[in-house]
Amino acid sequence: MNDRRTELTGRAPHPRPLPARGRGEEAGKAPFGVYVHWPFCAQKCPYCDFNSHVRFGGWDEERFLTAYKREIDWLADHIGPRTVTSIFFGGGTPSLMQPATTAAILEHIAKRWALLSDAEITLEANPNSVEAQRFRGFRAAGVNRVSIGVQSLRDDELRKLGRIHTAAEAKAAIDVARATFDRFSFDLIYARPKQTPDAWRTELAEALALAGDHLSLYQLTIEPDTPYAALHAAGKLVVPDDDAASALYEITDELTAAEGFAAYEVSNYARPGEESRHNLLYWRYGEYAGIGPGAHGRIVSAGYRQATVTERNPEAWAARVEETGNGIVEANDLTRAEQADEMLLMGLRLSEGVDLGDLASLGGVRPDLRVIDELVALGLLETLGGLDAAKISASPSHPDDVDVIRACAGPGLVPETVATAGILPVRIRATRRGRLVLNAVVAKLARGFVPAAA
């Protein structure tokens, strides 16, 4: 983050008032997402470091609804018109929300911004029977996709993960989701303590038989300051080592591919065209507003990209919104170098990789070719493109090159074919091994940035 980091006070509504001519200049031209964070959970899972809070006495839902609407108003007033292409209710556990609250938030978003008629509207849900009963209400509210936190299909594993649902409830919730929504996804956590390759193979095959067109398959990671971190430090919780985790990743890729799911992102698998559009927006470094406690946003206006973060504590966030109209505690104008770092970090998660032309336009930099060569030689990176567009279209002797570019774009993710001076855009993407050490790959590339014109 740069020197212009600004801690917004309750009285200063924005660190840099937006000029009127900046308002709406991007409207209708690019995807724009809205992330709505619902911060409450029925119980805190011991591995979780998300901004989730348990309130045994409940919460004042009316108060929170009013605050969500006010924060949407504030942002709409400050950034101007946009066309919303996706909305994501994340958490926390948004399925604890009353469907009427979801409907009111969606109505308010549609009142303040244009909402595409086919916008993807996703809600994260836990597979408890009570919450599954609300699915029809969420559908009526306008939600058209659910993402269910199944995590495991084994009751003993669910208990160890601190989950309060059973495998039978998870399967029942998947059935309800299938009957209610056109699109649904569910999450599983693997590389769990003592999980064998055979056990994962069997569980994943079961999951694939239950799946719709999208699955999120995450390896268990030990996050700092969680109960799991304390157990891990005390030697009471042992997760698979790198080799074992890598073997489980191979199984994941093999089984999902056999069922027609492409690994379009590090942990996400979809049939062609069924990728999460909202998450693609993040990974392609698009623009999105973050609403609610602890939400992050990336807002583009008048040539600036601003990173926003709101107050994490739910009640403190609501109080802040009541006082000032927004819960933002940090708003930083990102430098071009920071944007380049972020674009690389997000884009290399995708099988389509990163377009170096886009990186140059946004950040004014490109990775040093020697660093790229080094990472390619290590088997961590692949390069795509750099082919003469005229030669490819004129000569049938190069079909493989074209196929490689298309295949590497991932299912439904055809790369732009705009040619600059007859040269197709060059992309880089992380190999499967590279994705396992993505932060290190990005750090090395970013350290070797050179001016794009060099």
Please give the structure tokens belonging to residue 95: 């399925």
Q: Does 188 bind ligand SF4 (CB under 6 A)?
A: no
Between the alpha carbon of residue 378 and those of residues 78, 182, 407, 450, the distances in Å are 47, 42, 22, 21
> How many Cβ atoms are within 10 Å of 146's Cβ, its own excluded?
30
Binding status of residue 314 toward ligand SF4 by CB under 6 A: no
Stretch that binds ligand SF4, among 44-52, 100-108, 173-181, 402-410 (CB under 6 A): 44-52
Report how far residue 340's alpha carbon sits from residue 367's, in angstroms, rounded to the nearest whole number. Answer: 10
**Which span sits near ligand SF4 by CB under 6 A: 15-23, 27-35, 39-47, 99-107?**
39-47
In what helix (H) or strand (E) does residue 104 lie, and over which residues does it extend? helix 99-112
Told to check if 410 binds ligand SF4 by CB under 6 A, we report no
Answer yes or no whether residue 79 interacts with ligand SF4 by CB under 6 A: no
- Interaction between residue 86 and ligand SF4 (CB under 6 A): no
Closest CA to 213 of 187, 188, 189, 183: 183
CB nearer to ligand SF4: pick between 138 and 285 = 138
Do residues 252 and 190 touch, judged by C-beta distance below 8 A? yes
Inter-residue contact 169 to 152 (CB < 8 Å): no
Query: Binding segment for ligand SF4 among 8-16, 78-86, 88-96, 345-353 (CB under 6 A)?
Result: 88-96
301 contributes a contact to ligand SF4 by CB under 6 A:
no
Query: Could you say whether residue 52 binds ligand SF4 (CB under 6 A)?
Result: yes
**Tokens 């994501």 -> residue:** 88
Q: In what order do the strands lie in the sheet with 354-355?
A: 354-355, 427-430, 381-384
For residue 187, the minimal CB distance to ligand SF4 (Å) is 9
5 in Cβ contact with 333 (< 8 Å): no
Distance CA 77, CA 41 (A): 31
State in angstroms the smallest separation of the CB of 170 from ligand SF4. 13
End-to-end CA distance of the chain: 25
**Contact status: 327 vs ligand SF4 (CB under 6 A):** no
| Candidate segments 8-16, 45-53, 110-118, 418-426, binder of ligand SF4 by CB under 6 A | 45-53
- In whole angstroms, how far apart are CA 97 and each of 62, 142, 167, 420? 11, 14, 23, 49
Tokens of 91: 């958490």
Instruction: State in angstroms the smallest separation of the CB of 193 from ligand SF4.
Output: 17
- In the bound state with ligand SF4, the residue whose beta carbon lies nearer, of 218 and 304, is 218
Residue bearing tokens 């058209």: 144
Instruction: Compute the distance between CA of residue 379 and CA of residue 212 in angstroms, rounded to an integer.
Output: 33
Out of 8, 34, 45, 441, the only residue in the binding site for ligand SF4 (CB under 6 A) is 45
Name the minimum Å distance from CB 43 to ligand SF4.
7
Per-residue x/- track, 129-168, ligand SF4 (CB under 6 A): --------------------x-------------------
Judged by CB under 6 A, does residue 308 bind ligand SF4? no
Out of 14, 50, 172, 360, the only residue in the binding site for ligand SF4 (CB under 6 A) is 50
Taking each helix axis from N to C end, the angle separating 61-79 and 99-112, rounded to the nearest 10 degrees, works out to 20
Instruction: Report the distance separating Cα 119 and Cα 168, nearest Å.
Output: 32
Taking contact as CB under 6 A, which single stretch among the options 42-50, 257-265, 409-417, 436-444 is the one that binds ligand SF4? 42-50
Q: Which is nearer to ligand SF4, 41 or 84 (CB)?
A: 41
With a CB cutoff of 8 Å and minimum separation 6, the contacts of 195 are 240, 248
Binding mask 364-393 for ligand SF4 (x = CB under 6 A): ------------------------------
Neighbours of 258 (CB within 10 A): 10
Taking the complex as a whole, the smallest distance from the CB of residue 192 to ligand SF4 amounts, in Å, to: 14
User: Which is closer to ligand SF4, CB of 150 or CB of 318?
Assistant: 150
Size of the site for ligand SF4 (CB under 6 A): 11
Question: In the set 85, 86, 93, 279, which binds ligand SF4 (CB under 6 A)?
Answer: 93
**What sign does the dihedral 324-326-332-333 (CA atoms) show?**
negative
Residues that bind ligand SF4 (CB under 6 A): 41, 44-45, 48, 50, 52, 91-93, 126, 149
